[in-house]
Amino acid sequence: MNTPIPAEDERLFAYPQDRSCPWQPSPGYRGLGEQGPLHRVRLWDGKSIWMVTGHAQARRLLADPRMSADRSRDDFPAVLPRLDAPIFKPIAIIGFDPPVHDIHRRLLAPDFSLKQVRALRASVEELAGRLVDELLRKGPPAELVEDYALPIPSMVISELLGVPYDDHAFFEAMTNGLLQAKSAQDAEAAGQALWDYLDGLITTKEREPGGAGVLSRLVGQVDEDGDLTREDLVRIALALLIGGHDTTSQMIALGVVTLMEHPDQLAALRADPGVLPAAVDELLRMVSVTDVSGVRVATEDIEIDGHVIRAGEGVLVSSSMTNRDPAVFSDPYRFDIRRAGGHNAASGRHHLTFGFGIHQCLGQNLARMELEVAFSVLFDRIPDLRLAVPLDRLPTRGGGTMQGVHTLPVEW
Ligand code: HEM
């Protein structure tokens, strides 16, 4: 349950609001950000929470142990109707506080290390190359979500987890159903179908131990009285399968749009491939694909910048706005791939697209590598790529926090 809203707050800013440009936040958020770092906003159910648009305040709050990520708490805010579905309460890792969070994260960390991700790079390059071969073979126009942006992260996460890619049409459709659901009931139905599928897959792996992938490795560590129960494992599989492909595919799609619409920046990137990692971080900063760095509930009163966040009040950190805090990023609405400071979280000039603190994205090394490969292979092989529809006619996803496009028609 969210905090009841006093009658005088009924005219509070309504969250979320749709974008009008794929790489810029809603104009309403911009207006809010200009008023200060912390705001009360009104959710779909009429309840109010805090929205954080200041970078320093976001870092302080996301690093504060008095902020809980526990989705099973009654006072945890449901930012969208679908997030009221029981399947999200709790969701593995991201929705747990220490000590359970830390135990499960430690179990998974080796599979997402920089070393592990580097070892995967050549096979992702080969995959992207094959997908471009196929695009070129079919000829323009092409549909870039279905034929490029989605298959890359979807195949990579399937391989990493040990989920058969042959089942991709099913798990992609269910993920879409879960993340685009307009109601808790629809989200629950899609989530339950995914749960049953992964539960069955884990049963197969229990019967045939020794297979490849994270799930086969973890099956051997299940202990009902220990750190990893079988239910934990299904929850982890669900979180990784969903988290591992939708965000990255939409980031590839919106990143491609952003580059195509800034030909000077694309030319600079093609002229100096050394700038690729910085360009990927600048795209992550600008696009802020999830629009949210984290949602929490305060477990005690917290004083910050002259405000008091009361125990039981919800807090949402906006990545699109903290990534445009003028105290940290100069000329923040300008896309500039040579902007410094994207990657080093300790510098304090880091974008918050992957969150901050103990829940900072586990898959960020993997996502960065997939993005680097996806952009470089695509624009190396098809330098004249352009949108096949006007920018304002792109079928964008609306009504949520996760930004994206349903399809991305391109030609060359
Ligand atoms: C561009 C792509 C991605 C973006 C923008 C993104 C964004 C985020 C954000 C903002 C968080 C923090 C949420 C919070 O603090 O509440 C997070 C956490 C997480 N992400 Fe990602 N993510 C991406 C890709 C991935 C991939 C490829 C995986 C791989 C499976 C992944 C797995 C996770 C997990 C497991 C967590 C929870 C970590 C924890 O609670 O300790 N993400 N992600």
Amino acid present at 303: E
User: What integer pLDDT is reported at residue 53 of this predicted model?
Assistant: 98
Higher pLDDT, 399 or 268: 268
d(CA 294, CA 296): 7
H helix count then E strand count, the chain: 14, 11
pLDDT at position 372, please? 97
Binding site membership of 362 for ligand 1 (Cβ less than 6 Å)? yes
113 Cβ contact list (under 8 Å, min separation 6): 365
Q: Name the average pLDDT for the chain.
A: 93
Mean pLDDT over residues 379-403, rounded?
90
The token pair at 182 is 């307009």
Which residue puts its alpha carbon closest to atom 37 of ligand 1? 94
CB atoms within 10 A of CB 167: 13
At which residue do the structure tokens 């586990």 appear? 362
Cα-to-centroid distance, 134 and ligand 1 (Å):
30
Q: Does any ligand 1 atom lie closer than 6 A to the CB of residue 124? A: no
Report the DSSP pairing between strands 38-42 and 13-14. parallel
Lowest mean pLDDT among 148-152, 262-266, 355-359, 400-404: 400-404
Gap between the Cα atoms of 151 and 171, Å rounded? 12
- Examine the pLDDT at 10 and tell me if it is beyond 80: no
Q: Whose CA is nearest to atom 34 of ligand 1?
A: 362
CA distance 255 to 265: 12
Kindly indicate the confidence band of residue 339, based on its pLDDT and cuts at 50, 70 and 90: confident
pLDDT tens digits, 238-285: 999 998 889 999 999 999 999 999 999 999 999 999 999 999 999 999
Mean pLDDT over residues 35-39, rounded?
96
Pocket mutation for ligand 1, best pick of 361, 371, 373, 403 (most atoms within 8 Å of C-beta): 361
pLDDT score at 347? 53
Cβ of 359 closer than 6 Å to ligand 1, yes or no, is yes
Contact between residue 139 and residue 219 where contact means Cβ atoms under 8 Å apart: no
The whole-number pLDDT of residue 180 equals 86
**Residue 344: per-residue pLDDT:** 53
Classified as helix, coil or strand, 293 is: strand
Q: Is the pLDDT of residue 342 over 60?
A: no
Confidence of residue 146 (pLDDT cuts 50, 70, 90): very high
- The answer to which of 5-9, 56-60, 77-81 has the lowest mean pLDDT is 5-9
CA angle 379, 331, 346 (to 5 degrees): 80
C-alpha closest to that of 150 among 251, 239, 257, 240: 251
pLDDT score for 358: 97
Residues in CB range of 115: below 8 A, 6 or more apart = none
Cα–Cα distance between 48 and 40 in angstroms, integer?
6
pLDDT-above-90 percentage for the chain:
85
pLDDT tens string 21-35: 999 999 999 999 999
Q: Please name the residue ranges forming H helices in 34-161.
A: 55-62, 100-108, 114-138, 144, 151-161
Average pLDDT on 3-15 reads: 70
Nearest CA to ligand 1 atom 13: 294
Q: How far apart are CA 236 and CA 215, in angstroms?
A: 9
What pLDDT score was predicted for residue 391? 93
Q: Read off the pLDDT of residues 77-136 as tens digits, 9 standing for 90 and up.
A: 999 998 899 888 888 999 999 999 999 999 999 999 999 999 999 999 999 999 999 999
Residue whose token pair is 């903290």:
322
Q: How far apart are alpha carbons 298 and 308 in whole angstroms?
A: 10
The answer, yes or no, to whether residue 346 has pLDDT greater than 80, is no
Question: For residue 247, how far is its CA from the centre of ligand 1 (angstroms)?
Answer: 8
8 A C-beta contact, residue 247 and residue 290: yes
Q: What is the DSSP string of 249-263?
A: HHHHHHHHHHHHT-H
In percent, how much of the chain has pLDDT > 70?
95
Q: Tell me how far apart the alpha carbons of residues 145 and 108 are, in angstroms, rounded to a whole number.
A: 28
The residues, ordered by sequence, that sit 6+ positions from 41 with a Cβ below 8 Å of its Cβ are 12, 13, 14, 15, 32, 48, 49, 50, 51, 316
Q: Is the pLDDT of residue 349 over 90?
A: no
| For residues 138-165, average pLDDT | 96
pLDDT of residue 4: 53
* pLDDT in the model for residue 341: 56
What residues contact 136, with CB distance under 8 A and at least 6 apart? 381, 382
pTM of the entire structure?
Answer: 0.95
| Alpha carbon separation from 304 to 307, 308, 357, 364 (Å, rounded) | 5, 6, 17, 29
Tens digit of each residue's pLDDT (9 = 90 or more) over 219-239 = 999 999 999 999 999 999 999
Predicted confidence at residue 399, as pLDDT, reads 73
